[in-house]
Amino acid sequence: MKNTNIVALLKTFSRKEFNEFAAFISSPAQIRKRDVRKLFDTLKNHYPDFDRENLTDEKIFASLFPGKKIDKPKLSIAAFHLYDAACDFLVNSHARNSKTQSMIALLEEFLNRGLRMQFEKLAKKLESELNPTAFSLSGYFENLYKFYDLLMTYHSRNQNFHEITFYYSRKTECITALFLLKRFRLSMNKVFMRDSYSAMPEESPLEKVLSQPATDSVFAEGKGNEFIELLRPVYSAAKCFEGEDPDRWIEEAVSSYYRNEAMYSREEKVYITREILNLYLSLIINETDSARRKLLYRKEFEFIKMLVDQQLCFSIKDKYVNLAMFRNIVFTAIENEEFDWAEQFITEYSEKLKPSLRTSMLNMSLAELEFERRNFEKSLGYLSVVKFESPILKNDVRFLQLKIYYELGYLEQAHYSHQNAVRIFRKKASSDPGDNSDYLNFLDFYLRLLKLSLSPDSYELNNAINELNRHDCDTESKNWLEEKFRALL
């Protein structure tokens, strides 16, 4: 039973959800459909871990059907019915927790039943609750569209022509705003995948609709329009991702977010700020001028400090802080030499990471921090206890280890680790060359660094520095490599 769907699902239930599910399966409606209480009562003794030795098919079956020989198909059917009930519970919980959608559904029922007084009273109440601070932008536009659609139908049936025209216009605004929101975000996702994962999905015929020129005139002329102002940070971020005057558009994305911050729900603030962080990351990746890159890192860090202060670095829907987000925050702070701030963040927020990754990410972050503080032995100590639970951690460990070995003068270990890393990344590159090019470039430069550290040559050192600073040279830890070459020079 340990690896069944029902056990996997019940493991995700909070204590409150688990108790509510117990009440749900005891309701008359659920019992009439299928009585699953007996299996639930057997499994609930194993909550929340479900990893005890007694959780075997034989013991579960014996508790359900005492004295009978185990029948695994029969047990599987019982588990399926309980899983089905748990899925019904989640759907019902979602509907119950979504007050607005429930009200819209009730409004539609009043409309279909011709209950005018009840419809008008509920519509008035619903209108007061439909504001962007209560939803994501996507949810706001979708719910508002449904609401206006019902109002238009209501007035159409009652031949209120002025109201029909008004709500038609409002519906059109909602659906257009929703389309633009989705379009901007899809275009940003595409560029981000290209820059971060060297992946460029094939364009479908329908996707060509999204590739039409941006409606710049709408945003230039539409100042003061509620929907346009709500969309402005996303529009500006999309323009920046498209590569048009990035300095102007990233400033506009940030300033319009701060200007309209009070209009957004917490969920939407998380969406928009993540898009802006991705924007900074993309600009930093593609920036070749070191001074310009340093300025971008500083601006990104100032933005990150605001996110952490307002606890926007994770969504309330997220059970844990995202590993990539945590790593980006730590690395950005370290890049800006904000070591004390980074240490405080690591200490406080590592507790919010997924338990299986928590210890390794904590030690990996502290290893990076101590490396930048030039406490190389201490850094190596933290690094030695990091486990490879994530591909991100694997790469971070390999490359930090190589840098520590060089700094400590452990050249034999450095050569061995380098050869091992080359073997791994060349194997990966054979199937996905673009995704590993910056790592392979680092390994090539690192080998040159090891050789030149034994026999320095000013001509070769200058060549290496010039190659590192070429526009098309994507290299992991480029600044560190250049620093080491210059030190030898």
In a domain, 449, yes or no: yes
Question: Does residue 425 register a pLDDT over 80?
Answer: no
Question: Tokens 């749900």 identify what position?
Answer: 24
Lowest mean pLDDT: which of 194-198, 235-239, 265-269, 435-439? 194-198
For 310-352, where are the alpha helices, taking DSSP H only? Answer: 323-335, 339-349
How confident is the model at residue 201, as a pLDDT?
63
Q: Are residues 45 and 61 in the same domain?
A: yes
Question: How much of the chain exceeds pLDDT 70, in percent?
Answer: 91
How confident is the model at residue 195, as a pLDDT?
66
Alpha-carbon distances, residue 280 vs 188, 250, 306, 371, 455 (angstroms): 12, 8, 15, 24, 39
Question: How many CB atoms neighbour CB 445 within 10 A?
Answer: 23
* Averaged pLDDT for residues 42-66: 80
Best-predicted range by mean pLDDT (66-70, 331-335, 418-422): 331-335
Question: Does residue 406 register a pLDDT over 90?
Answer: yes
Q: Are residues 139 and 89 in the same domain?
A: no
Domain span including residue 172:
130-196+218-286
In a domain, 387, yes or no: no
Distance CA 91, CA 83 (A): 13
The mean of the pLDDT values for the chain is 87
Last-in-domain residue among 78, 97, 116: 97
Distance CA 207, CA 205 (A): 5
How confident is the model at residue 435, as a pLDDT?
58
Q: Are residues 80 and 188 in the same domain?
A: no
Question: Does residue 313 register a pLDDT over 80?
Answer: yes
Distance CA 401, CA 17 (A): 44
| Residue/partner pairs of 162-165 with CB below 8 Å, 24 or more apart | none
In a domain, 391, yes or no: no
Q: Are residues 271 and 135 in the same domain?
A: yes
Question: Does residue 214 register a pLDDT over 80?
Answer: no
Q: Are residues 279 and 250 in the same domain?
A: yes
DSSP 8-state secondary structure symbol assigned to residue 329: H
Do residues 71 and 61 touch, judged by C-beta distance below 8 A? yes
* Interacting residues of 87 by C-beta distance below 8 A, sequence separation 6+: 9
At 217, the pLDDT band (50, 70, 90 cuts) reads: confident
Q: Are residues 328 and 450 in the same domain?
A: no
Q: Are residues 318 and 374 in the same domain?
A: yes
Question: Does residue 232 register a pLDDT over 70?
Answer: yes
Question: Tokens 């994501």 identify what position?
Answer: 136
Distance CA 291, CA 277 (A): 19
Q: Left if phi > 0, otherwise alpha if psi is -120 to 50, otherwise beta: which for 337?
A: left
Question: Does residue 19 register a pLDDT over 80?
Answer: yes
Q: Are residues 268 and 308 in the same domain?
A: no
Last-in-domain residue among 286, 307, 341: 286
In a domain, 124, yes or no: no
Question: How much of the chain exceeds pLDDT 90, in percent?
Answer: 46
Work out how many domains the chain is built from and give that number.
4
Do residues 245 and 284 touch, judged by C-beta distance below 8 A? no
* Averaged pLDDT for residues 29-53: 82
How confident is the model at residue 208, as a pLDDT?
60
pLDDT digits (tens, 9 = 90+) for 80-121: 999 999 998 888 887 676 788 889 999 999 999 999 999 999
How confident is the model at residue 52, as a pLDDT?
67
In a domain, 403, yes or no: no
In a domain, 270, yes or no: yes
Q: Are residues 295 and 356 in the same domain?
A: yes
In a domain, 487, yes or no: yes
Last-in-domain residue among 286, 301, 324: 286
Q: Are residues 274 and 157 in the same domain?
A: yes
How confident is the model at residue 471, as a pLDDT?
63
Alpha-carbon distances, residue 165 vs 108, 152, 170, 401 (angstroms): 20, 8, 9, 67
Q: Are residues 443 and 375 in the same domain?
A: no
Tallying the residues shown for the chain, one arrives at 489
In a domain, 106, yes or no: no
Distance CA 222, CA 409 (A): 62
* Averaged pLDDT for residues 256-271: 94
* Averaged pLDDT for residues 421-441: 72
Q: Are residues 259 and 310 in the same domain?
A: no
Distance CA 243, CA 245 (A): 6
